């Protein structure tokens, strides 16, 4: 898979999930507080969150090594003015 650009945003570190729902397997951890995101899609909101999720590659792989750390960060962990985050395209497969 390839992406034509990314957007860097401030964020709260957290778990990246394989799919866009709160019980999806955690594939990696995002440790940084400023990260790049290549696209977004909607899903089931986690407790206290919204239904936006942002796709990126995590810093530490914890499961499913074939995914190479790629997963979805819940949108409420991005520090942006609104969703979808400005400049971040919708995932082509969404």
What does the DSSP 8-state code read for residue 78?
B
Per-residue pLDDT of the chain (94 residues; tens, 9 = 90+): 678 888 999 999 999 999 999 999 999 999 999 999 999 999 999 999 999 999 999 999 999 999 999 999 999 999 999 999 999 999 998 7
Q: What angle do CA 91, 8, 85 make, to 5 degrees?
A: 50
Q: State pTM to two decimals.
A: 0.95
C-beta neighbour count of 32 within 10 angstroms: 12
Q: How far is CA 62 from the centre of its chain?
A: 15
- Look at residues 62, 55, 42, 54 and name the one whose alpha carbon lies nearest to residue 2: 55
């Amino acid at each position: 898979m390839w992406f034509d650009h990314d957007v860097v945003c401030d964020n709260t570190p957290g778990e990246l999930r394989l799919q866009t729902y709160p019980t999806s397997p955690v594939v990696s951890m995002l440790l940084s507080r400023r990260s790049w995101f290549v696209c977004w899609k909607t899903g089931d909101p986690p407790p206290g969150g919204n239904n936006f999720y942002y796709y990126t590659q995590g810093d530490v792989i914890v499961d499913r090594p074939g995914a190479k750390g790629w997963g979805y960060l819940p949108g409420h962990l991005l520090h942006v003015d609104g969703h979808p985050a400005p400049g971040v395209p919708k995932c082509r497969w969404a």
